[in-house]
Amino acid sequence: MELKEKAFKSVSRKNHPGDTVVDIGGGVKIGGENFTVIAGPCSVESEAQIVEIAKSVKKSGAHALRGGAFKPRSSPYAFQGLKALGMEYLLEAKSITGLPIVTEIMNIAHIGLFADVDVIQVGARNMQNFELLKELGRLDKPILLKRGLANTVQEFLMSAEYIMSEGNGKVILCERGIRTFEGVTRNTLDLSCIPLIKEATHLPVIVDPSHATGIARLVAPMSYASVASGADGLIIEVHNDPENALCDGDQSILPSEFETVSRKIKDIAGLFGKVY
Amino acid sequence: MELKEKAFKSVSRKNHPGDTVVDIGGGVKIGGENFTVIAGPCSVESEAQIVEIAKSVKKSGAHALRGGAFKPRSSPYAFQGLKALGMEYLLEAKSITGLPIVTEIMNIAHIGLFADVDVIQVGARNMQNFELLKELGRLDKPILLKRGLANTVQEFLMSAEYIMSEGNGKVILCERGIRTFEGVTRNTLDLSCIPLIKEATHLPVIVDPSHATGIARLVAPMSYASVASGADGLIIEVHNDPENALCDGDQSILPSEFETVSRKIKDIAGLFGKVY
Amino acid sequence: MELKEKAFKSVSRKNHPGDTVVDIGGGVKIGGENFTVIAGPCSVESEAQIVEIAKSVKKSGAHALRGGAFKPRSSPYAFQGLKALGMEYLLEAKSITGLPIVTEIMNIAHIGLFADVDVIQVGARNMQNFELLKELGRLDKPILLKRGLANTVQEFLMSAEYIMSEGNGKVILCERGIRTFEGVTRNTLDLSCIPLIKEATHLPVIVDPSHATGIARLVAPMSYASVASGADGLIIEVHNDPENALCDGDQSILPSEFETVSRKIKDIAGLFGKVY
Amino acid sequence: MELKEKAFKSVSRKNHPGDTVVDIGGGVKIGGENFTVIAGPCSVESEAQIVEIAKSVKKSGAHALRGGAFKPRSSPYAFQGLKALGMEYLLEAKSITGLPIVTEIMNIAHIGLFADVDVIQVGARNMQNFELLKELGRLDKPILLKRGLANTVQEFLMSAEYIMSEGNGKVILCERGIRTFEGVTRNTLDLSCIPLIKEATHLPVIVDPSHATGIARLVAPMSYASVASGADGLIIEVHNDPENALCDGDQSILPSEFETVSRKIKDIAGLFGKVY
B231-263: pLDDT as tens digits: 999 999 999 999 888 888 899 999 999 999 999
Q: Is B181 on the interface with D (CB under 8 A)?
A: yes
Q: Is B136 on the interface with A (CB under 8 A)?
A: no
Q: Where are the domains of chain B?
A: 10-16+34-71+78-270
Whether residues B180 and D181 touch (CB distance < 8 A) is answered with yes
Q: Is B161 on the interface with A (CB under 8 A)?
A: yes
With cut-offs at 50, 70 and 90, classify the pLDDT of residue C17. Answer: confident
β-bridge pairing A22-25 and A28-30: antiparallel
Q: Is A180 on the interface with C (CB under 8 A)?
A: yes
Q: Which fold has domain D34-268?
A: TIM Barrel (3.20.20)
Q: Identify the closest residue of chain A to D221 by CA–CA distance.
A: A229
Q: Identify the closest residue of chain B to A134 by CA–CA distance.
A: B76
Interface test mutation site (partner B, options C192, C229, C234, C272, max chain B beta carbons within 10 A): C192
Q: Is D149 on the interface with C (CB under 8 A)?
A: yes
Q: Which of B172, B167, B213 is nearest to B190 (CA)?
A: B213
What's residue C249's pLDDT?
A: 86
- Quick check: C127 pLDDT over 80? yes
Count how many pairs of residues, chain C against chain D, have C-beta atoms within 8 Å: 75
Interface test mutation site (partner B, options A70, A77, A110, A128, max chain B beta carbons within 10 A): A128
With cut-offs at 50, 70 and 90, classify the pLDDT of residue A248. Answer: confident
Residues of D in contact with B179 (CB under 8 A): 181
Residues of C in contact with D162 (CB under 8 A): 76
The yes/no answer to whether this complex scores an ipTM above 0.90 is yes
Interface test mutation site (partner B, options D181, D185, D190, max chain B beta carbons within 10 A): D181
Residue D83 backbone dihedrals phi, psi, to 5 degrees: 55, -125
Is residue A222 within 8 A of residue D189, CB to CB? The reply is: no
Task: Report d(CA B192, CA B197) in Å as an integer.
Answer: 9
What's residue C4's pLDDT?
A: 95
Whether residues B150 and A75 touch (CB distance < 8 A) is answered with no
Whether residues D183 and B180 touch (CB distance < 8 A) is answered with no
Q: Is A148 on the interface with B (CB under 8 A)?
A: yes
Average pLDDT taken over every residue of chain A: 96
Residues of A in contact with B155 (CB under 8 A): 74
Q: Is B179 on the interface with D (CB under 8 A)?
A: yes
Task: Report d(CA A139, CA D228) in Å as an integer.
Answer: 38
**CATH code assigned to A5-271:** 3.20.20.70
In sequence order, what are the residues at sequence separation of 6 or more whose Cβ sits closer than 8 angstroms to the Cβ of residue A129? A122, B106, B125, B126, B129
Whether residues D180 and B181 touch (CB distance < 8 A) is answered with yes
Is residue B82 within 8 A of residue B43, CB to CB? The reply is: yes
Q: Which of A139, A247, A88, A104 is nearest to B129 (CA)?
A: A104
Q: How far is CA C133 from CA C143, C159, C161, D83, in A?
A: 9, 7, 9, 18
Task: Report d(CA D269, CA A173) in Å as an integer.
Answer: 28
Q: What is the pTM of this model?
A: 0.97
- Provide the b/e sequence for D117-132 (b: ≥16 CB within 10 Å): bbbbbbbbbbbbbbbb
Whether residues C189 and B192 touch (CB distance < 8 A) is answered with yes
Q: Where does residue D259 rank: exposed (0-12), middle (13-18), buried (19+ CB within 10 A)?
A: middle
What's residue D273's pLDDT?
A: 95
C26-67: pLDDT as tens digits: 999 999 999 999 999 999 999 999 999 999 999 999 999 999
Residue B271 backbone dihedrals phi, psi, to 5 degrees: -65, -25
Residue ranges in chain B whose pLDDT is less than 70: none
What's residue C36's pLDDT?
A: 98
Residues of D in contact with B1 (CB under 8 A): 1
Q: Is D149 on the interface with A (CB under 8 A)?
A: no
What's residue A249's pLDDT?
A: 86
Q: How many CB atoms lie within 10 A of CB A72?
A: 18
**CATH code assigned to C24-271:** 3.20.20.70
Q: Is C4 on the interface with A (CB under 8 A)?
A: no
Residue B152 backbone dihedrals phi, psi, to 5 degrees: -75, 165
Of the candidate CATH numbers 3.40.50.720, 3.30.830.10, 3.20.20.70, 3.30.1330.30, the domain formed by B10-16+34-71+78-270 belongs to 3.20.20.70
Per-run averaged pLDDT (10 residues), chain D, 276 residues: 93 94 97 98 97 97 97 93 97 98 96 97 97 97 97 98 98 98 97 98 98 97 98 97 88 96 97 94
Whether residues D179 and B179 touch (CB distance < 8 A) is answered with no
Whether residues C180 and A181 touch (CB distance < 8 A) is answered with yes
Q: Is D270 on the interface with B (CB under 8 A)?
A: no
H or E element: which one contains B253? none
Residues of C in contact with A180 (CB under 8 A): 181
Greatest distance between any 2 Cα atoms in chain A: 50
D79–chain B nearest CA distance, Å = 25
